Chains A and B, each alone.
Chain A
Amino acid sequence: EVQLVESGGGLVQPGQSLRLSCTGFGFTFGDFGMSWVRQAPGKGLERVAIIRSKAYGGTTEYAASVKGRFAISRDDSKSIAYLQMNSLKIEDTAVYYCTRWIHNSGIPYDYWGQGTLVTVSS
C-alpha cells in the first residue's frame, strides 16, 4: 500500500528554522517526483517546492513566496524527501503536505500524506 508520512512540524518563532521529512512506503521512491504543498488555516492549496527524480535531473523549483528560504532535497536510499525551512515567517503557518507524481504520466498528485502542521508565532 502506498503511503506518504510527514514529520517534523511544530511551533517555532519567526526567523527560526525547521526541517520536514516525508517518508514513502509501498512504491519505488526514486522513480517519482516529490512535492510539498501547503495549506494555511482556512485557505487553499499552494505548491511550495518540487524535486524531480534523479532520472529527470533531480532538479528543484520553488514558489516565489519561499524561494531563497526553503530547500527541498531527497535521499532515495531512505525513501525520504526533506523540506528545510529557514527564516520562517508568520505567513508560513500552514499544514504541509507531501505528495508525489510520476514524470510524463499525465497523472498529477495521486497520493498525499496526512500533513504536518507548522506554526510560526512569537
Chain B
Amino acid sequence: DIVMTQSPDSLAVSLGERATINCKSSQSVLSSSNNKNYLAWYQQKPGQPPNLLIYWASTRESGVPDRFSGSGSGTDFTLTISSLQAEDVAVYYCQQYYNSAWTFGQGTKVELK
C-alpha cells in the first residue's frame, strides 16, 4: 500500500495568518496517462464526518472557499490556508486514490494561536 505521511502533526496559527500542511506519499500518485495527481484533501471538524476540500491535488470542490489551495506533484503535496478563519479549526487529511487501495495520511490538527 502507498503510505501517506503528513507534517506537522499539529500547528497553531493566528487568525488571518497562513497555514501550511505537507503530505508525502511513499510512491508517485501522478498518472502518466492523464498527467493528474490522484491526491485529495479533507477537512474534519469535531463530531463531523470528513469533508472533501480538494481533489486532483489542486482542484477545489464546489463551495470550498478560495483561501484553501492545494499544490504539488508526484510524491510531495501541500495544502495552504491563505488566511486562517476561526471556522477552519479542524483536522486535515490527505488521501491518495492512485491505485485501488486508497490510503489516508495520519491527519494534521490546526488550532488557533
Task: Give the 9 A-B residue pairs with the shortest CB-CB distance, closest first.
Answer: A112-B49, A45-B104, A108-B97, A44-B107, A108-B40, A44-B106, A107-B55, A110-B52, A97-B49
Q: In terms of DSSP, what is the predominant structure of the interface of chain B?
A: loop
A109 contacts B52, C-beta separation under 8 Å: yes
Interface size on A, residues (CB 8 A): 17
- For B104, give its contact among A46, A106, A110 (CB under 8 Å): A46
A79 at the interface (CB under 8 A from B): no
Determine whether the beta carbon of B102 is less than 8 Å from that of A47.
yes
Q: List 23 A-B contacts (CB under 8 A).
A: A44-B93, A44-B107, A45-B42, A45-B50, A45-B93, A45-B104, A46-B104, A47-B101, A47-B103, A47-B104, A61-B100, A107-B61, A108-B52, A108-B55, A108-B97, A108-B102, A109-B50, A112-B49, A112-B51, A113-B49, A114-B48, A114-B49, A115-B49
Q: When chains A and B are docked, how far (Å) is the Cα of A83 from the Cα of B33?
A: 34
Give a binary string over A99-122; 1 marks a CB under 8 Å from any B CB, 0 the rest: 101000011111011110000000
Instruction: Give the CA-CA distance A108 to B96 in the complex, in Å.
Output: 9
CB neighbours (8 Å) of A101 from chain B are 97
In whole angstroms, how far apart are the Cα atoms of A46 and B4 in the complex? 12
Closest partner residue, chain A, to B50 (CB atom): A112
A-B interface pairs (CB < 8 A), number? 49
How many chain-B residues does the 8 Å CB contact rule pick out? Answer: 23
Query: What is the CB-to-nearest-CB distance from B48 to chain A, in angstroms, rounded to a whole number?
Result: 8
Q: Once bound together, how far apart are the Cα atoms of A108 and B103, in whole Å? A: 11
Rounded to whole angstroms, the CA-CA distance of A114 and B104 in the bound complex is: 19
Chain B residues within 8 Å of A46, by CB: 104
Residue from the set B48, B50, B106 with the largest chain A CB neighbour count within 10 Å: B50
Q: Specify which chain A residues have a CB less than 8 angstroms from the CB of B22 in the assembled complex.
A: none
CB-CB under 8 A from B56, the residues of chain A are 106
Please report the C-alpha to C-alpha distance between residue A47 and residue B93 in the assembled complex, in whole angstroms.
Answer: 13
| Residues of chain A in range 25-57 having any CB-CB distance to chain B below 8 Å | 44-47
Contact pick for B61, options A44, A45, A110, CB 8 Å: A110
The chain A residue with its CB closest to the CB of B107 is A44
Residues in B neighbouring A47, C-beta threshold 8 A: 101-104
Q: Could you tell me the distance between the alpha carbons of A114 and B50 in the complex, rounded to whole angstroms?
A: 9
